[in-house]
Amino acid sequence: MSHLTDLPPWAALLVCGLMLVGAATTLIGSLGLLRLPDFYARLHAPTIATSGGTILLCLASILCFAVLQSRWVFHEVLIIFFVTVTTPVTLMLLGQATLYRDRFEEQQGVPRKQKPAPGEE
C-alpha cells in the first residue's frame, strides 16, 4: 500500500488546499440550515455542500490517489455526477411538499396556484 507521506510537496499542498476549502464549504452549507430564516431559504443551503463541497473533496481525492499511484483515477467523477443529479430531486420533492402544505393551510406569503405574479410577461 502507498502512504500519504510519499506525496510530493506540491501535490500535498494542493490536496490540503482542496480538502480545507471543500470542508469549509460543506460546513458553511450546514451552517446555512441553522442561520437561514424559513424552510424555502433553507432549501438553498445543502446545495452548497453538494455542489461545491463534494466537487472539491472529490477533486482532492482524485489528485491524491492519481499522484500516489501514478495513473489516472476517475471513478470519483461518478460520486460528483450522482450527488449532483440526485440531490436536486430530493430538494424539489421537499419543496413541493412544503408548498402543497402551506397552500393547504393557507399560509401567508406563499404564492397561490395558477395565479401568475403581476408584471409577468
Partner 1 sequence: MRTWFPYPLLSIALLLMWLLLSQSVTPGSIVLGLVVSTVLAWVTLNLQPARSRLHRWSRIAGFILRVVGDVIRSNIAVTLIILRAGRRPVNAGFMTVSLDLDDENALALLACVVTATPGTAWLEYDRRQKILLFHVLDIENEDLWRKTITRYAADLKEIFE
CA dist list (Å): 43 to 15, 39, 48, 80: 30, 6, 10, 19
Chain position carrying cell 460543506: 26
4 binds partner 1 (CB under 8 A): no
99 binds partner 1 (CB under 8 A): yes
C-alpha span between 119 and 121 (Å, rounded):
6
C-alpha span between 121 and 10 (Å, rounded):
53
Kindly tell me which residue out of 11, 12, 14, 47 binds partner 1, with binding defined by CB under 8 A: 47
48 binds partner 1 (CB under 8 A): yes
By beta-carbon proximity to partner 1, the closer residue of 13 and 75 is 75
Kindly tell me which residue out of 74, 105, 106, 108 binds partner 1, with binding defined by CB under 8 A: 74
Cβ neighbours for 29, distance < 8 A, ≥ 6 positions apart = 45, 46, 47, 48, 49, 50, 52, 53
User: Tell me, what amino acid is at 5?
Assistant: T
Q: Quick one: which segment of 2-10, 12-20, 41-49 binds partner 1 (CB under 8 A)?
A: 41-49
Size of the site for partner 1 (CB under 8 A): 41
Q: Footprint of partner 1 on this chain (CB under 8 A)? A: 25, 28-29, 31-32, 35-38, 40-41, 43-45, 47-48, 50-52, 73-75, 77-78, 84-85, 87-89, 91-92, 95-96, 99, 110-111, 114, 116-117, 120-121
